[in-house]
């Protein structure tokens, strides 16, 4: 009976260690994901705003507002909304790329 208790205790200690490791790995990855989401997207939207301001004299706040509305509508709409936007955006990007290379 006592051996059975000791085996159970060892098993529970092993499980506690495994779950603690999984928890801390999850916390570390969560920090990375939050940092990646914030840093990556903020840099891209800042770059777009700076280019629009320097090229077309569009205020930074207007560019940010337009980007915010566009991204929010795609995210809230789900995967179908993403598919619709991409089906329009990709051919437009191809057209702009080829016409800019020709000119």
- Reported as a single tens digit per residue, the pLDDT across 19-45 is 888 888 888 777 777 766 666 666 788
CA distance to 50, 57, 79, per residue, from 100 (Å):
21, 21, 31
Domain total for the chain? 2
**Same domain flag for 52 and 92:** no
Same domain for 44 and 93, yes or no, is: no
Q: Within this chain, do residues 22 and 35 fall inside the same structural domain, yes or no?
A: yes
The DSSP string of 62-75 is HHHHHHHHHHHHHH
What pLDDT is attached to residue 38?
Answer: 62
* Chain centroid to CA 60: 22
In whole angstroms, what is the distance from residue 36 CA to residue 56 CA?
30
The answer to whether residues 87 and 98 belong to one domain is yes
Q: Which domain holds residue 17?
A: 1-56
Q: Are residues 70 and 50 in the same domain?
A: no
pLDDT digits (tens, 9 = 90+) for 46-103: 889 999 999 999 999 999 999 889 888 888 888 888 888 889 999 999 999 999 888 6
Note whether 53 and 63 are within 8 A (CB): yes
Examine the domain organization and report whether 9 and 49 are in the same domain. yes
Same domain? For 46 and 32 the reply is yes
8 A C-beta contact, residue 28 and residue 20: no
Contact between 94 and 86 (Cβ < 8 Å) = no
pLDDT at 15: 87
pLDDT at 39: 67
């Amino acid at each position: 009976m006592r051996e059975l208790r000791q085996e159970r205790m060892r098993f529970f200690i092993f499980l506690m260690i495994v779950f603690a490791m999984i928890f801390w790995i999850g916390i570390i990855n969560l920090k990375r994901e939050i940092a990646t989401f914030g840093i990556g997207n903020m840099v891209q939207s800042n770059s777009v705003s700076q280019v629009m301001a320097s090229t077309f004299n569009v205020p930074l706040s207007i560019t940010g507002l337009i980007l915010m509305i566009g991204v929010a509508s795609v995210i809230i709409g789900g995967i179908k909304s993403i598919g619709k936007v991409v089906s329009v955006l990709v051919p437009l990007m191809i057209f702009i790329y080829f016409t800019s290379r020709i000119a």
